[in-house]
A and B are shown apart, each in its own frame.
Chain A
Amino acid sequence: MITEIGHFSLIFAFVLSLCQSFAPIYAARKSMDVIHRFSIRLAVLNAVFVLLSFSCLIWAFIVSDFSVALVTEHSHSSKPMIYKISGTWGNHEGSMLMWIVILSVFGAGLALTQKTMGLLQKSSTLGVQGIISSAFIAFSLFTSNPFERLALPPLNGNGLNPVLQDIGLALHPPTLYVGYVGLSLAFSFAVAGLITNSVDRNWARYMRVWVQIAWCALTLGIGLGSWWAYYELGWGGWWFWDPVENASLMPWLVATALLHSVIVVEQRDLLKSWTVLLAITGFSLSLLGTFIVRSGLLTSVHSFASDPTRGLFILGILVFSIGPPLLLFAINGPKIKSIGYLHLLSRETGLLINNFLLICASIIVIIGTFYPIALEIMTGMKITVGPPYFEATFNPIMALLVIMMGIGPFLVWKRGILPKSNKIWIFAGTSAVVISAISFWASNELSVSALAGIATAAWLGISLLCDIFVKIQKLNRNRYTNFWQDALHLQWGMWIAHFGIVIFLVGALGEGIYRSESVARMHIGDEISLGSDSAKLQAISTRNDSNYESLVATLKLTTSDNIQIGFLFPEKRIYPVERQTTTEAAIRRTVTADYYAVLGDGNRKDGYTIRLYHKPFVSWIWLGVIMMASGVAISIIIQRLKPKQTHVAFTS
């Protein structure tokens, strides 16, 4: 019964979202506010039913109802409860439903907040959202229905893959999806703005918060994925330029550009059509990210072809969600006229250059990811575009961006004069050079690119600190206003987010430049050196768990002065039922470095192969990511705290 309720509510939500998308058109014809209000309410109702449907599916997973085909495929009665629940979205059909849930919840979120927004604008934004939503529910219902039933349920399910039982895997997709889907709202804003010709400062103000939420989630999602790869994969990397990773990076870069350009629209009423284009592209890339990659086009055309209906449906959605808006943009875009002028030395120019660099970077990622496929389809030639390509093309552009980030915050809106900042820049520049010189002196094996990396990171960090210092000092000097009130108006969000990048760079550079590694076949009692530290293999023991046996090594880490750092317990697990072996890396985290150990093959007689890494500052990578996301979150909160003000139509 519950399953069928879930199925029916999904169908009901489908019909509702169809109504939601047609209502504004109908209302526009008749120009009736009541229908606009009605369609806004529909968005909420829609979310309620989609949520109900999703809860029913989760329920089926919780009680292991194997009369649901999806549960049979992807669950097992002996799984721990948390993985039963996360199994709901750990598969194609379920993740589609989760995608729809997030889509509707975002729609309902818009419907319930931002009361000051124009009725026509709101209902048409939700209308566009409704079109996307109905397309995806149709996709879910007609090609990958999660509620498919089995008349004769089996005794147990097939989904007991130990490798898939991981907390990182349970959290990574939902977070990433919130990011992807959040961009759908920006997309809807853009399309509705084009249709109703309401792209202005208010439009930007309403849209901005959604872009920020989506960006936060996307950033955290990518960060989680990378963290998972780091601790789980067992070779200590954190970014592999894998097509799947690239697919999430593409929308992130565009969303980052959008995050900045929407500020320009809000503040200066400039770059409007550009922002609209970014919003459309951002969501398109999200779609490309989730679907083309997931269906396997990037790795092999064959896995896609295994279910042509599904593949064609996805492509259909892709083309119809990108095509008409772009066409609309081509027709209507030029009429969105930005009023006002751009000055060379102004913050808007700074943000324009930021946008330009980010878009360059994302185009590079797109090219690097899709070039091999295009080449193969056209010439049959198969090449690999691996990390070296991206390191040679993507990294320099990012370095440029980081340099610009040190300059941007000093610039002021509109007319640009250099506010005493040249001194700061000279200071920051010199310190950057000094810092890289010191690091070169400390270990003279550094390559040019490593030195450049250190210098740019130092430059950004110092100039950011200077910026904060100068602005707070200015505030102090002004005695006529309340210090704390004004302090709230400072760009804390931006500072934290940008400082997150500095932290991230420290982690990435520290890991990239200073990591050390050693591999050895060790007997019990043997010692190997790892940089200046050393590790001693103290014991190898076996351990039995409910569904696996494992071999655990005990390694004792000591510094050169014989001070104990800690112990590492790398494992090798054997799952006899599934006939799988997995290696569980052991990580000893300290603020300044991670010690990372992997246990390989071997036996007591010949010893065991053990691979050890010393990775300085590696956890700063994710600390930086968290700072970036929380910076944007803080900025959202600060916006709420500020006294409300609606922009009056800007006239110059």
Chain B
Amino acid sequence: MNIRYILPVGIFFTIVVISAVAMISILNGDQSRAQLPSPLIGKKAPELVLSSYGSSQTSSDAALELTKQVEDEPFVVNFFASWCAPCQKEIPFLEKLSQDVAVIGVAYKDKPDALEIFLERFGNPFRHIGLDNDGKAAINWGVYGIPETFLISDEGIIIIRHAGEITHDIYRTVFLPKIGDMMQ
């Protein structure tokens, strides 16, 4: 075939393909596209050594390995802060999650008194809360903005990483099926 044909036809098809792909992604611009895929999924959850808030507040300075507290059962790690609005909105869903699995909260750059008001006002679905005062734990978990929620299997493997608020849809379509799978 002549090069004169190949060139325009090639350009034409490239553009058609680009447009089609764009069109498709516009039409089903689902939420997962907004997410940065985390390389941590399928890997062992990083450790989470933080000073703890709440139940063991008497020893609040002592660092606590939070992931060790819930060994051998699936659990959820939620990075949140009392100053973040989506974090309060997702509390009801974390409460629902806490009925099935342990939920560990990591308060990102937060103050204990603000945290106390927050928990009192919106509820406390967390079994343990760690204080990540310098944001190191967040970096360690690859968090780039709060809220972010991880689901970890009983073997300590990260199964889900969700960045952003857990909405009704996210809860139903992302978390519930995986938790259902794990329960079986």
Contact = CB atoms under 8 A, between A and B. Distances in A.
Nearest to B34: A302
A207 B55 CA distance: 79
Contact of A301 (B4, B33, B36): B33
B12 A330 contact: yes
Given A292-B22, A304-B29, A319-B16, A330 B9 contact: yes
Given A273-B4, A330-B5, A382 B37 contact: yes
A312 interface: yes
Contacts of A330: 5, 8-9, 12
B29 A302 contact: yes
A520 B58 CA distance: 42
A297 interface: yes
Contacts of B19: 315, 318-319
A312 B12 contact: no
A308 interface: yes
Given A273-B4, A330-B9, A301 B26 contact: yes
Interface string A342-376: 00000000000000000000000000001000101
A311 interface: yes
A445 to B, nearest CB: 33
Given A301-B33, A302-B33, A323-B16, A329 B8 contact: yes
A163 interface: no
A293 B15 CA distance: 15
Contacts of A305: 26, 29
Interface residues of B, number: 25
Contacts of A277: 7-8, 11
Nearest to A328: B8
Contacts of B85: none
Contacts of B2: 334
A311 B26 CA distance: 8
Contacts of B12: 322-323, 326-327, 330
Contacts of A329: 8
Contacts of A377: 21, 24-25
Given A330-B9, A333-B4, A333-B8, A308 B15 contact: no
Contacts of A312: 23, 26
Contacts of B183: none
B18 interface: yes
Nearest to A330: B8
Interface of B: 2, 4-5, 7-9, 11-12, 15-16, 18-19, 21-27, 29, 32-34, 36-37
Given A301-B29, A312-B23, A323-B12, 16 more contacts: A277-B8, A281-B11, A284-B15, A297-B22, A297-B26, A301-B33, A308-B26, A311-B26, A315-B26, A322-B12, A322-B15, A330-B5, A330-B8, A333-B4, A377-B24, A380-B37
11 contacts: A273-B4, A297-B22, A308-B27, A312-B23, A318-B15, A322-B12, A330-B5, A330-B8, A330-B9, A370-B18, A380-B32
Q: Identify the 5 closest CB pairs spanning chains A and B, nearest first.
A: A305-B29, A326-B12, A329-B8, A330-B8, A334-B4
